[in-house]
Amino acid sequence: MTAIIEADGLGKDFVLSEGPLFRRTRRTVRAVDDVGFTVGEGEMVGYLGPNGAGKSTTMKMLIGILTPSRGRVRVAGLEPSRQRTRLAARIGVVFGQRTTLWWDLPLRDSLALTRHLYRVPAADHARRLAELTEVLELGPFLRTPVRQLSLGQRMRGDLAAALLHAPPLLVLDEPTIGLDVVSKSAIRGFLLRLNAEHGTTILLTTHDLGDVERLCRRVVVIDHGRLAFDGDLAGLRATAPSPRTLVVDLAEPAPAIAAAGARTVRVEGPRQWLELSGNPAAVIAEVARSHRVRDLTLREPDIEDVVARLYARPAP
């Protein structure tokens, strides 16, 4: 496997000045601390963690807009902060919360300008623009000024802009943030296709566990700036085992059910959620003996539960 991203002992501190003028104190925030991971060519990796964990800071070091305080990072064989311009030709970057498109220009003009930015030969640019216009379905709004686009349309435009120079690596910071279900699904489908058909390596941060389940065979999790997990989804489930849940629909509302081997974690009218630690059959039998039950469902933990438990673990 050829590595396209290599981070080793990577760290970033921010120094904050706090308090009133003349009595300012300086405080150091360790945003990223001793993070190491490698991404191979053609991989699709999710970079996860709770708010403030250090995901965006890591992304910014990878693309060269922040200089690491410690450690080593190489992307596409280059040192990002020192070789930012050369690196720009090798990567596509999309920050979901910000656009790189010109706000007042029609989308088409923004996309035309990227050709000069990256010095793409005209014929290659035209061919890729046609391809991206088709798969991202940009046709209907190519002539619309960017500021008039919906968030989903804008995101598709941003993806096209990031990919017109055919970079082997795409770095995405929350690419589906704020999008509706249909737009999310379109973006996910596009990324899967890009990875499968062009072999583009994709590294993305997201809070959307649908993105993770659909897109990421491998996840790297950071918490408080430190690496908490690196592996596949099955491995992630095994690290932070989550209990199964028994959803009980009673004939009428009742106080929280008390049953051995279960803990009632939520009550909503006649419906109650019991987290199981013991044998499900025994719990079900006990609940059925003590209550009039309409319906029972046993729910396996989903990736959302697993990640929530992982984030909830105390900092190392």
Ligand X SMILES: Nc1ncnc2c1ncn2[C@@H]1O[C@H](COP(=O)(O)OP(=O)(O)OP(=O)(O)O)[C@@H](O)[C@H]1O
Binding window for Mg ion (CB under 5 A); candidates: 54-62, 80-88, 237-245, 300-308: 54-62
Closest approach, Cβ 171 to Mg ion, in A, equals: 12
CA dist., res. 190 & res. 185, Å (int): 9
Closest approach, Cβ 15 to ligand X, in A, equals: 8
**Region of residue 49 (phi > 0: left; psi between -120 and 50: alpha; otherwise: beta):** left
Beta carbons of 27 and 16 less than 8 angstroms apart: yes
Q: Which does 51 bind (CB under 5 to 8 A by kind): ligand X, Mg ion, none?
A: ligand X
Q: Residues with Cβ < 8 Å from 127, sequence gap 6 or more? A: none
CA dist., res. 46 & res. 236, Å (int): 12
Q: List, as one string, the DSSP characters of 237-294.
A: HHHS----EEEEEESS--SPP--TTEEEEEEETTEEEEEESS-HHHHHHHHHHHS-EE
58 contacts Mg ion (rule: CB under 5 A): no
Closest approach, Cβ 8 to ligand X, in A, equals: 19
Q: Which is nearer to ligand X, 56 or 114 (CB)?
A: 56
57 contacts Mg ion (rule: CB under 5 A): no
Q: Which is nearer to ligand X, 16 or 265 (CB)?
A: 16
Q: Which is nearer to Mg ion, 164 or 221 (CB)?
A: 221
Q: How far apart, in Å, are the Cα atoms of 69 and each of 13, 29, 82, 227, 292?
A: 6, 12, 14, 17, 62
CA dist., res. 242 & res. 258, Å (int): 20
Binding site for ligand X (CB under 6 A): 14, 16, 29, 31, 49, 51-57
Q: Which is nearer to Mg ion, 55 or 165 (CB)?
A: 55
Give the dihedral sign, CA 290/295/300/306.
Answer: negative
Closest approach, Cβ 57 to Mg ion, in A, equals: 8
Closest approach, Cβ 56 to ligand X, in A, equals: 3
Q: Which is nearer to Mg ion, 53 or 283 (CB)?
A: 53
Q: Which does 31 bind (CB under 5 to 8 A by kind): Mg ion, ligand X, none?
A: ligand X
Q: Which is nearer to ligand X, 39 or 120 (CB)?
A: 39
Q: Which does 114 bind (CB under 5 to 8 A by kind): ligand X, Mg ion, none?
A: none
CA dist., res. 193 & res. 214, Å (int): 12
Q: Which is nearer to Mg ion, 17 or 51 (CB)?
A: 51
Closest approach, Cβ 14 to ligand X, in A, equals: 3
179 DSSP 8-state letter: -
56 contacts Mg ion (rule: CB under 5 A): yes
How many Cβ atoms sit within 10 Å of the Cβ of residue 41?
Answer: 15
Q: Which does 171 bind (CB under 5 to 8 A by kind): ligand X, Mg ion, none?
A: none
